[in-house]
Structure 1
Amino acid sequence: MTADSTPALVQPADGPDGDPATPAGTLSAARGPRARTTTEYLKYAAAKIAGAVVSLFAVLVTSFFLFRLIPSDPVKQMTGGRKVSTEQLANLRHQYGLDQPMWKQFTSYVGDALTGDFGISFQYHTPVIDKIMDALPATLLLTGTAYVLYSALGIWLGTRTAWRNGSRSDRFNTAFALTLYSVPAFWLGLLLIIVFAVGIGPIPGMFPTGGLESGGETGFAYVIDVAHHLVLPVITLVAVGYAQTLLVMRSSLLDEMGSDYLTTARAKGLRDDVVRRKHAVPNAMLPTFTLMFVNLGHVVAGQILVETVFSWPGLGGLFYSALSVPDLPLVQGLFFVFATAVILANTLADILYPLLDPRVGR
């Protein structure tokens, strides 16, 4: 074999700060045979948006028929068990449009819902959208606070435990996360109420049993009062949420740790902290990124059982009370809002994926 026929071994050039710019080493380098053009990306994003629109319409249809399978008469529930004549019941059904044929109720519902009108609540006799907007801030405060805390804690601990795989701290954190992940959130909430709100043995009751505020407070005292009420429900959501995030992040990073590009980075003399932070973690973030966007949708959807356990005046508690009647317009409106939040969060994640890893969607 002549010298001309011998393939040349091209060494990758060093990147900034002495980082090896290996093709598999960073997300920005994993572009495949050619970079995605703007037209290709727009087609990809348009397909995802179109799929989201179809999903939203399917949710709209499902929300109408699903809750009509509940074996209960909402008109009789609204009367509270009082003796009501047949004529009065008929008037109530006519007032709320329940005496119309199912197909007419459906077309009216879809037409109104597309304009943001979900009807009048049977319980509260106010527009459904107004009830939703009144309860939304409380849900965002609770689940939003928990989301930020458990996402940051789960990613940080998941990275640490994976990088020290097999150590005592890794075994403890993994076992503890698995235990919390298997515990129902509402059960954990009840346990926290018993121990830290009611008090048990030498532990006094330190926190309120539920609600958003005690009432009568203003200014900074009001902020402290709300924060005091937030402690137990936030701990409940963080305990379960961080465990899930830790386990996903740990698993993803363990898959990356045996990759050749990390061996190359270490051979270049980079510090272990730099190898983890600038090479391994960015590549391991995609599954965790997916989980974070799914959970972002749940920030609006709330946690129905947790909000109910803590008597939190948010969308979850409102859904539970509406379902017990059943308050069909309110249940349908809340179900559509919950599903829309999750669908939009997933669609946003799909659209952002190619910006993090151009291999996605090829």
Structure 2
Amino acid sequence: MSTTSTTGTTAVARASEARAARGNVRAYLLYVAGKIGGAAVSLFAVLVTSFFLFRIIPGDPVKAMTHGMPTSAEQMATLRRQFGLDKPMWQQFTDYCAGALSGDLGMSYQFRAPVGDLILQKVPATLLLTGVAVVIYSAIGLWLGTRSAWRHGSLGDKLNTGVALTLWSVPGFWLGLLLIITFSVGIGPVPGMFPTGGMESGNESGFAYVADVAHHMVLPVLTLVAVGYAQTLLVMRSSLLDEMGSDYLTTARAKGLRDDVVRRRHAVPNALLPTVTMVFINLGHVAAGSILVETVFSWPGLGGLFYQALSVPDLPLVQGLFVVFAGAMIVMNLLADLLYPLLDPRVGR
């Protein structure tokens, strides 16, 4: 009788676990579907915004294409017809959406080349610069933020927080100009050690080329790291401080676990959710680059290309870059949302 009862209880427990597992999978799938639907709506909103927003920029694209040269009314009309600027606004919008959804971002007014090709040409330089910077400042920010929170109130915490707040409030382009003046031009006893801009000198090959590119990267990477690590540090510090008074940490200490084990295995994993969002947003910036920093250092990436397009204005190029920048951010936020339930099972239930 006892054996039969135990077997029945085990079967009921297994059935209950199976139902719970199916319920968790169903809840996660609904969570994923909701997040993907929200990302799709956001992408459509980006398409609408990118089309109408940049059409309020002063300037005539057709006049900009002629570079101030004498042009007849017939020639101007031909150019407008060639680029579809003579069509009604609603038709321009539908053509733009149809092209964007099929991967065709249009033809650049300024460069007379497909926008997609121009973006692909500049992507490697931006990925190199901002990718290196994001990896460095995310690692530094997470490490220093954890240390500052765990020893909050100490001299090191006050120093780290003060420096981070100062750098977070500094405009990146202004800091970049200061670095150029100090370390490129030279000031007082400090000689000019680094190039003022660009990605390469243009006369190197092999390992010398790699060293030359790294030499050109020092100041722009330092600028991005100085501004970026501060935000990551402050977010990680605030998130970990919220966990410091939790009962589970007291229980872990009561079990005799060492302080660094409590921090590493218990506190930090539970404080990572806001920081994960920050890291993924930073990864989205890898595609977007940093427009002002790239412009200050004449870095041949997407940020510099965006600045060139705005100055015309080159509407197809500006729109295409805006969609790429915003799309990268939306995709990275979506990946962060999908990762949340793996870090905290309570999310998405």
Q: Normalising by structure 1, report the TM-score.
A: 0.89
Structure 2: gaps (5+ residues): 1-19
Q: Which residue of 1 aligns with 2:221?
A: 234
Q: Which residue of 1 aligns with 2:92?
A: 105
Q: Which residue of 1 aligns with 2:187?
A: 200
Q: Which residue of 2 aligns with 1:357?
A: 344
Residue type of the partner of 1:58? A
Residue 361 of structure 1 deviates from its aligned partner by: 2.7
Residue type of the partner of 1:108? D
On the 8 A contact 2:28/2:348 being kept in 1, the answer is no
Q: Normalising by structure 2, report the TM-score.
A: 0.92
Q: Which residue of 1 aligns with 2:312?
A: 325
Q: Which residue of 2 aligns with 1:343?
A: 330
Q: Which residue of 2 aligns with 1:26?
A: none
The 1:36/1:349 distance shift into structure 2, 3 A limit, reads farther
Q: CA RMSD in A?
A: 1.3
Over residues 24-73 of structure 1, what are the superposed CA-to-partner deviations in whole Å (9 max), with x where a residue is unaligned? xxxxxxxxx98961121111101110111111111111111111111210
Q: Which residue of 1 aligns with 2:6?
A: none
Q: Which residue of 1 aligns with 2:167?
A: 180
On the 8 A contact 2:239/2:272 being kept in 1, the answer is yes
On the 8 A contact 1:155/1:245 being kept in 2, the answer is yes
Residue type of the partner of 2:113? T
Distance 1:217 1:204 in 2: 24
Q: Which residue of 1 aligns with 2:248?
A: 261
Runs of 4+ in 1 over 3 A off after TM superposition: 33-36
Q: Which residue of 2 aligns with 1:306?
A: 293
The percentage of aligned residue pairs carrying the same residue is 75
Distance 1:201 1:36 in 2: 69
Deviates more, 1:324-333 or 1:102-111: 102-111
Q: Secondary structure at the match of 1:341?
A: helix
Q: Which residue of 1 aligns with 2:9?
A: none
Distance 2:88 2:157 in 1: 61
Distance 2:21 2:72 in 1: 74
Q: Which residue of 2 aligns with 1:39?
A: 26
Residue type of the partner of 2:209? Y
Distance 2:277 2:75 in 1: 52
Matches within 5 A, 1:127-166: 127-166=114-153
Residue type of the partner of 1:145? V
Residue type of the partner of 1:196? F
Higher helix proportion: 2
1:50 maps to which of 34, 37, 60:
37
Residue 184 of structure 1 deviates from its aligned partner by: 0.5
Distance 1:268 1:100 in 2: 74
2:101 maps to which of 99, 103, 114:
114
2:205 is the counterpart of 1:218: yes
Q: Which residue of 2 aligns with 1:251?
A: 238
Over residues 117-141 of structure 1, what are the superposed CA-to-partner deviations in whole Å (9 max), with x where a residue is unaligned? 0111111111100000000011000
Q: Which residue of 2 aligns with 1:85?
A: 72
Residue type of the partner of 2:294? E
The 1:264/1:36 distance shift into structure 2, 3 A limit, reads farther
Q: Which residue of 2 aligns with 1:278?
A: 265
Residue type of the partner of 1:115? S
Distance 1:251 1:103 in 2: 47
Distance 2:203 2:22 in 1: 60
Residue 179 of structure 1 deviates from its aligned partner by: 0.4
On the 8 A contact 1:36/1:358 being kept in 2, the answer is no
Q: Secondary structure at the match of 2:148?
A: helix
Residue type of the partner of 1:156? W
The 1:229/1:36 distance shift into structure 2, 3 A limit, reads farther
On the 8 A contact 1:118/1:127 being kept in 2, the answer is yes
